[in-house]
Amino acid sequence: MNLIIYLKHYKYEKTIVSIVLIVFAAISCSPLFYTPNTQNVPLFTHKGDNNIMVAGNGNQVELQGAYALTDAFAIQANGVGSFLERRIMEMEVQVNSLS
């Protein structure tokens, strides 16, 4: 009787491990991922205040700017550019040229 219970438990355990491995394999296949931009909180108090920021690393560059039109109203803009897709395409070209 104990052998039958053990075999049933083993079957479920094997199924769960298989599902977890398939999920991890599916997630790891995609090299692209979401990278949030930094927060842009200018906190202006006077007309004419401004803020410009450029940040980045090897995979992306970010530009943020803000300007106070009045003491109580400001505009801001954010932009992010990614170089990751271009690098992946370059790697694919290199791999295809080797084969």
pLDDT tens digits for 46-58? 999 999 999 888 7
SS3 at position 51: strand
Which whole-number Å values give the CA distances from 32 to 35, 38, 61, 78, 85, in the listed order? 9, 19, 16, 21, 8
Give the residue with greater pLDDT, 19 vs 75: 75
Among 33, 42, 87, 35, which Cα is nearest to 61's?
A: 35
Cα–Cα distance measured from residue 68 to residue 55, given in angstroms and rounded to the nearest whole number: 22
Taking a C-beta distance cutoff of 8 angstroms, is the pair 65, 51 a contact?
Answer: yes
pLDDT at res. 34: 62
- Measure the CA–CA gap between 65 and 62, rounded to whole angstroms: 10
pLDDT at 32: 57
Q: What is the pLDDT of residues 56-92, one digit of tens each?
A: 887 788 999 999 999 999 999 998 887 766 666 666 6
Provide the whole-model pTM. Answer: 0.51
Q: Which of 61, 54, 55, 53 is nearest to 83 (CA)?
A: 61
